[in-house]
A and B are shown apart, each in its own frame.
Chain A
Amino acid sequence: MALLTLALVVPLATAIVTFLARGTPELQRGLSVAGAATLLGVSLVLGAEVVTGGPLAATMGGWPAPFGITLVADLLSAAMVVITGVIALAVAVYGLGEIEPAEERLGHHTLLHALLLGVTGAFLTGDLFNLYVWFEVMLIASFGLLALGGRPDQLDGAIKYVALNLVSTLAFLAGVGLLYGATGTLNMADLHGAVRELDNAAVVFTTAALLLFAFSVKSALFPLFFWLPASYHTPSVTTSAVFAALLTKVGVYALVRVFTLIYDADMPLIQELLLVGAGLTMLTGVLGAAAQNEIRRILSFHIISQIGYMVLGLALYTPLAIVGAIFYILHHIVVKANLFLVGGVVKKLTGSEDLARIGGLWAAAPWLGVLFLIPALSLAGIPPLSGFWAKLVVIKASLEAEHYLLAATALVVGLLTLFSMSKIWLEAFWKPHPEPASAPARGLDRAESWALLSPIVALATVTVVIGLVAAPFYAVSVTAAEQLLDPGAYVTAVLGARP
């Protein structure tokens, strides 16, 4: 009980105290890192608790479920919260070396922790309307972070991001309203039973379609992804990294949660849409990336393409495929955040992200090359890094389900991902600098290298560890998938044992 609330109180309290400390930047930075570290600590305790004791649930305000708002942590939620803690600490530390004092004064730290609050809330809530509220908390914080500083290109990106995301939340809200009208409950565990008892197929399908649309926009699924490549490369690198790691994954999490717990797989049209959507998402993302020439714009398109793999896992809906989707989400968050962080160091060292205008980094900073290659090769799925196992499971699941075309797409997309990563490698690291005279004179000073490089090293270590010792992470994914496909323990944790 206390643990679940604590995971929300910590980011909320950090957001508040960093706001109060806005006059003293040193204090603000210290509080921000301390808050993120505390969040990681709490999430690890929560994770350990759920691994040993099964799903945890707590109702707020003394109202028993299904009337009160419920917080639930099954293994998927707990794992997502742990990974959120890892990313929180990584970007909080990275921000020390990257965020401009002006952005700090405008409230970067406060907005960052408000965003983490929304993300954690979305992972932990067991109530559908409450999920909508957490989505809005997350959205408004991300709007702020995205537009912070107000450079014209940021405003341009923010307009598209804001507009498309607001449309999706309205669809979400309409779906929630109709589902409530049909079942009389908003508690997700209660909806699990209530939706199965509904004999009105039209209502079930309409609400499912509205939620599918809403979460597909959030997770940047084809053809609803246009807000993402328009905006993700415009804010500070720290902001880009936390967006890339967490925001779309909240959408994928919501898809997984809603289409395992509330709806069952017995909706052929929805499943078909997800399958086709997943395939086209993988393909358009990677082809879009091939056309780009700036590091963060390439990486943004790769987020889209990778979302396809996760949704493919969900759409196949076999136990192995769900395992693959969960493993993929966990691995991807770490890898993607890290690639953006490395991109930020490249930008800092060379002064540009445009591949045509930079080069020679292998000679100037070989260590950075190694740190780039770990997440880059993992993203492409090269053994023995974490991405290999993630892709292996998803592709094996699609072969077993006899979706050969999708399996082939997944393989080809992996190859094209390698092409994109080697493009960044060749252009930024390997080729000599196009104008040696204007080559970077500036290195990183001591404090900067600590702040920028320690999160990159830490996340790269996580990637290598997941790759080399995949078994425990795989076991966690298997248990999480079992809990999703048989939500008995989840429902009992929320509603108590029922005859």
Chain B
Amino acid sequence: MELALAVLVGVLTTCAIYLMLSGNMVRFIFALALLSNAVNLVIFAAGRLTYAAPPLIGEGAKAPADAVANALPQALILTAIVIGFGLLAFTLVLVHRAHQALGTVEADEMRLAEPAADGDEAR
């Protein structure tokens, strides 16, 4: 199971990096979604994978009788998902507004904040 997750994380990260390197901001948003899911899976796997063992403590007991799933990574992932969703939504709106204002989604063509010097234009 760990192996499958490791491969999945690798594939997601590879796709994310490939998309990010394209310089297109729409692809960048997809890459961001893939990469944040890859990271969430890393945290999940880091918390050890256990089958069907809910972290519940029996009545009257102070500790669970058997080994149970680790609840903390799931709490961390939940936090990361919420934050990631907010940031993804913001980025989506930002890219949309930038497209309206600048007429492009290509990062290389966005030169308003850093206009090309005269020497650059010859290239």
Please list the residues of chain A having a beta carbon within 8 angstroms of any beta carbon in chain B.
129, 132-133, 136, 139-140, 143, 147, 150, 152-160, 162-163, 166-167, 170, 173-174, 176-178, 180-182, 229-231, 233-234, 291
Contact = CB atoms under 8 A, between A and B. Distances in A.
7 contacts: A147-B94, A155-B102, A158-B94, A166-B32, A166-B91, A170-B39, A174-B42
Given A155-B98, A159-B94, A170-B36, A229 B114 contact: yes
Contacts of B32: 166, 170
B46 A178 contact: yes
A233 B39 contact: no
Nearest to B104: A156
Contacts, number: 99
A180 B101 contact: no
A420 B36 CA distance: 41
A388 to B, nearest CB: 33
The 4 A-B pairs with the shortest beta carbon distances in the complex, nearest first, are A181-B46, A177-B43, A157-B113, A152-B101
Contact of A140 (B20, B46, B86, B112): B86
Given A166-B32, A229-B114, A177 B95 contact: no
A150 B76 contact: no
Nearest to A181: B46
Instruction: Report the interface size class on chain B.
Output: 35 or more
Contact of B43 (A154, A162, A180): A180
A162 B20 contact: no
A177 B94 contact: no
Contacts of B22: none
B8 to A, nearest CB: 14
B69 interface: no
Contacts of B87: 136, 139-140, 166
Secondary structure of the B side of the interface? helix
Given A143-B90, A180-B47, A230-B114, A159 B35 contact: no
Contact of A167 (B20, B42, B101): B20
Contacts of B80: 132, 173
Contacts of A291: 117
B110 interface: yes
Contacts of A230: 113-114
B17 to A, nearest CB: 10
A180 B114 contact: no
Contacts of B97: 147, 150, 155
Interface string B87-113: 100110011011001100001001111
Nearest to B77: A177
B79 interface: yes
Contacts of B56: none
B14 to A, nearest CB: 14
B41 to A, nearest CB: 9
B71 interface: no
Given A153-B113, A159-B107, A230-B113, A178 B42 contact: yes
B83 interface: yes
A157 B112 CA distance: 8
Contact of A231 (B42, B45, B46, B113): B113
Interface string B9-53: 000000000001000010010001001101100110111100000
Contacts of A143: 90, 94
Nearest to A144: B90
Contact of B76 (A152, A157, A159, A177): A177
B94 A173 contact: no
A306 to B, nearest CB: 21
A178 B48 CA distance: 11
A300 to B, nearest CB: 10
B47 A181 contact: yes
Contacts of A154: 113
B25 A163 contact: yes
A244 to B, nearest CB: 16
A193 B8 CA distance: 32
A23 to B, nearest CB: 25
Given A152-B102, A180-B43, A181-B47, A162 B113 contact: no
Contacts of B86: 140
A174 B90 CA distance: 21
A229 B38 CA distance: 30
Q: Of B38, B86, B98, which is in contact with the most chain A CB atoms at under 10 Å from its CB?
A: B98
Q: Of B25, B46, B113, which is in contact with the most chain A CB atoms at under 10 Å from its CB?
A: B113
B102 A156 contact: yes
Given A166-B91, A180-B73, A173 B43 contact: yes
Contacts of B39: 170, 173-174, 177
A346 B47 CA distance: 55
Contacts of A157: 113
B113 A234 contact: yes
B42 A160 contact: no
B112 A152 contact: yes
